[in-house]
Structures are given as structure tokens and as C-alpha cells.
Amino acid sequence: MRESNNRPAQAKILRNFRKLHRITGALLFVFFFIVAITGSLLGWKKNSGGMIMAKSYKGSSTQLKDWLSIDSLYRNACNYLRDSVSADLSTEVDRIDIRKDKGMVKFIFTNHFTGLQLDGATGQILHIEKRRADYIEKIHDGSIIDFYFGWDGYFKLIYTSIMGLALILFTVTGFWLWYGPKRMRKHA
């Protein structure tokens, strides 16, 4: 008898969860779609045949004693960037990825999505790459807005917080929308 008295309250909870689930889903549909597509692309980046992420090329020596200094490699990278890509691009480095086992150094720049792979020993260019995976990642986590507007990560922080909380909300309400009717039928 107690369960049947509780049935209207359970039905009300289900209606509220359904409404919350539907409204939140409608409001965030585009964002979830973007996260799903970009997440899938990032999952496939190493298996994309170089379309999303360039392969790492091999230099002439894996022995660090044979390598040029980082300063010399950086100067070479800047010269290649200006001469082979565009003289208008910034040479400010975001990070330098040293691949000792491949004899190669990657220079990744701060203000654009160009990467250069240089032979660590000779300083010669091995590959000029468009860093599509970095671009896709910035779309995925919302930092693309910070990148273009020069914000200090604030949009990414808000965006990832909203998306994370929404995913938790969808998990809880989705589970209850599945389980609640089963529970109500069981106790009917």
C-alpha cells in the first residue's frame, strides 16, 4: 500500500527528470555533437595516414653527442618557417618535442598550427606539418575561442565545466529515465 502511495511522487520525479534531460539536451545539442565528432577524430589521429597527425620522421643520428644545440636547431627552424612557409608567421615557440629515438626535433609554434621536424644532427628540415590534431583538440576542449580572442583559458574553463556537469546530469537523469519506469512497474 505504501508503494502505491509513493507512485505519484515517483512519476513526478520521472517527469521532472525527462523535462530536465530534454531541455538540457536541446540547449547543448550542438556542443555535444562537436565534442563527439572531434573526440572521434582525436581517437583516430595516429591511424589517419597523416591526415590528422603527421608521422614522425627519422633523423640521421640518435646519439645526442652528434646533435646541434637547441639554439642552432631553433634558428634553423625559424629560417625554414620564414623561407618555406610564410615570413608573416610568428617564430614564438610553444614547445620543443625532442624525439631522441628518432633523431628528430619538432618545433611547435604558439600562434599558428605549423610544426617543423628537423634532423637533430644536421638541422635539416625533415617535414613541415599542419598540426590539425592540435586544432581539433582546441575545438574539442573549447580553447579555440581563447586562442582566437587571446583570452587566458577562461572560455575553456567555463566550457569544460558546463560540458562535464551536463554529462553528469545526463548520466544521472538518463539512468533514472531507464530505471524509474522498471521500478514503478515492479512495485505496481
Per residue in 139-170, pLDDT (tens digit) is 999 999 999 999 999 999 999 999 999 999 98
From 111, 130, 149, give the residue that closes a domain: 130
Strand partners, 93: 109
| 119 beta partners | 104
Q: Are 133 and 120 in contact (CB under 8 A)?
A: no
Rg, the chain, Cα only = 25
DSSP secondary structure, 131-143, as one string? -HHHHHHHHHHSH
% residues pLDDT > 90 (the chain): 75
What is the three-class DSSP state of 86? Answer: coil
Q: Exposure pattern of 122-136 as b/e (b: 16+ CB <10 Å)? A: bbebbeebebbbbbb
Q: How many domains does the chain have?
A: 2
Residue 170 lies in a domain: yes
CA angle 41, 43, 49 (to 5 degrees): 70
54-109 pLDDT, tens per residue?
A: 999 999 999 999 999 999 999 999 999 999 999 999 999 999 999 999 999 999 99
**Are residues 62 and 126 part of one domain?**
yes
The confidence score (pLDDT) of residue 1 equals: 44
- Model-level pTM? 0.82
DSSP H or E stretch at residue 157: helix 154-186
Q: Do 76 and 125 reside in the same domain of the chain?
A: yes
pLDDT of residue 133: 97
Structural contact between residues 88 and 132, judged by C-beta atoms closer than 8 angstroms: no
Q: How many CB atoms lie under 10 A from the CB of residue 17?
A: 18
Bridge partners (DSSP) of residue 110 are none
Structural domain harbouring 149: 2-45+138-186
Q: Evaluate whether residue 21 is within a structural domain.
A: yes
Please indicate, yes or no, if residue 80 is contained in any of the structural domains: yes
Cell 634558428 belongs to 75
Whether residue 80 sits in one domain with residue 33 = no
Q: Is residue 13 assigned to a domain?
A: yes
Residue 107 forms part of a structural domain:
yes
Report how far residue 135's alpha carbon sits from residue 41's, in angstroms, rounded to the nearest whole number: 11
> Could you tell me if residue 50 is inside a domain?
no
3-state secondary structure of 61: coil
Does residue 88 form part of some domain? yes
Residue 4 confidence (pLDDT): 56
Give residue-wise pLDDT tens across range 41-50: 999 999 999 9
Q: What pLDDT was estimated at residue 164?
A: 95
- Final residue of a domain: which of 87, 104, 130? 130
